[in-house]
Chains A and B, each alone.
Chain A
């Protein structure tokens, strides 16, 4: 399937807007519920970070905070900026650099989705321990998918659409 440049830009813009809208509920809704020996604990993305920090694990909490909270938003915001300036000659080099960084680090925001899968796998001990995914994880996954697919659809060459700079 081959998309035209106009379709690529429009589709990327739609996905970024959708991702930004879904980002808010993805951080309000619980992504999973952990029940350990009768103690039921619904966790949001930030709730999980808070729990890790409170348990004396600031480094791991920091990694999860960056990967699951900061990175999805930063990626969507950066993509929005790149797409907003599409067609304009302004800051082309900077946009290209930002887009490269988005490609390099963007997928790390999937850490929370894999975390749910690992916890759900071992948390099936009946009343002793259970881990259930919650609808919030679907919304969170959609945010990540929107940003990942938008970054894949929009090609770096589109940033330079009107220029034809040669190099040696």
Chain B
């Protein structure tokens, strides 16, 4: 059973536990809550509500590019300094032979956020501009699959902890990349929170990308 699919003329599945819920017209401010897991199944949809996630994903992608090309911090001990880029840690872990850790950091810190934001942007682009580029269904599936692995907010907290730890040993200077990492974290959290899956699904269904179950 697909989440948020139409079971019958008036029934939809809870996106979390897949319980069938009776759908009805909602007034502004009203929402339909699943009786068994308390998840919001339906909310009243305001017009143009897909534009903010579209803008956020585009901003997030731009910031992610900057976060990967500018140094995050510089550590200095007895006059010698070393800068930290997002990729430097991954390369160093590979050099030390810890490929699993390097892969995990690379996937959760760079690839998953990039893929998530790219898919969100692609879907938003198609829905907001009412276009039908290829692979919309695939983009929706990929976005759902990589969402739990998008750990850029955790990466930004880990950077703060690393700075605190390094300050005990030498001097640390924040670099512009830190702002961009924080920016990507905020954009991806906001994008996840305000994305209206219900509206996106309805729009994709209208465009013939998603089929009624």
Residues in B with CB closer than 8 Å to A121 are: 82, 84-85, 88-89, 92
B20 CB → nearest A CB, Å = 6
Q: Say yes or no: B20 contacts A166, CB within 8 Å.
A: yes
Q: How many residues of B contact A (CB 8 A)?
A: 62
Residues in A with CB closer than 8 Å to B74 are: 122
Q: With A96-B36, A120-B96 known to touch, is A125 a contact of B80 (CB < 8 Å)? A: yes
Chain A interface extent, by class: 35 or more
Q: With A110-B108, A117-B101, A138-B98 known to touch, is A36 a contact of B154 (CB < 8 Å)? A: no
- Which of B44-52, B60-68, B160-168 sits within the interface? B160-168
Residues in A with CB closer than 8 Å to B80 are: 125-126, 128
Q: Say yes or no: A133 contacts B101, CB within 8 Å.
A: yes
Question: Interface of chain B, helix or strand or loop or mixed?
Answer: mixed
Q: Say yes or no: B155 contacts A114, CB within 8 Å.
A: yes
B80 CB → nearest A CB, Å = 5
26-63 of chain A: CB within 8 A of chain B:
34, 36-37, 48, 51-52, 55, 57, 60, 63
Q: Does A111 contact B (CB under 8 A)?
A: yes
Q: Roughly how many angstroms separate A126 CA and B79 CA in the complex, as a whole number?
A: 13
Q: Does A76 contact B (CB under 8 A)?
A: no
Q: Does B204 contact A (CB under 8 A)?
A: no
The one of B35, B37, B90 that contacts A100, using a Cβ cutoff of 8 Å: B37
Q: Roughly how many angstroms separate A125 CA and B171 CA in the complex, as a whole number?
A: 13
Q: Say yes or no: A122 contacts B100, CB within 8 Å.
A: no
Q: Does B22 contact A (CB under 8 A)?
A: yes
74-102 of chain B: CB within 8 A of chain A:
74-75, 77-78, 80-85, 88-90, 92-93, 96, 98, 100-102
Q: Say yes or no: B148 contacts A152, CB within 8 Å.
A: yes
Q: Does B18 contact A (CB under 8 A)?
A: yes
67-119 of chain A: CB within 8 A of chain B:
92-93, 96-97, 100, 103, 107-108, 110-119
Q: Say yes or no: A55 contacts B162, CB within 8 Å.
A: no
Q: How does the 8 Å CB contact mask read for B139-183 relative to A, with 1 for contact and 0 for none?
A: 000000000110100110111111011101110000000000000
Q: Say yes or no: A137 contacts B98, CB within 8 Å.
A: yes
Q: What are 23 A-B interface contacts by the 8 Å CB criterion?
A: A34-B169, A51-B165, A64-B161, A114-B108, A114-B159, A115-B162, A117-B89, A117-B101, A117-B105, A118-B73, A118-B84, A118-B159, A121-B89, A122-B83, A125-B80, A129-B77, A129-B82, A138-B98, A138-B100, A157-B1, A160-B36, A165-B19, A167-B33
Q: Which residues of B contact A (CB under 8 A)?
A: 1, 14, 16-22, 24, 32-39, 41, 72-75, 77-78, 80-85, 88-90, 92-93, 96, 98, 100-102, 104-105, 108-109, 148-149, 151, 154-155, 157-162, 164-166, 168-170
Known: A122-B84, A125-B80. 12 other contacts (CB 8 A): A52-B165, A93-B36, A96-B17, A114-B109, A114-B154, A115-B158, A122-B88, A126-B80, A128-B80, A141-B100, A167-B34, A168-B35
In the A-B complex, the 3 residue pairs with the closest CB atoms: A167-B35, A117-B89, A114-B158
Q: Which residues of A contact B (CB under 8 A)?
A: 34, 36-37, 48, 51-52, 55, 57, 60, 63-64, 92-93, 96-97, 100, 103, 107-108, 110-126, 128-129, 132-133, 137-138, 141-142, 145, 148, 152, 155-157, 159-160, 163-168
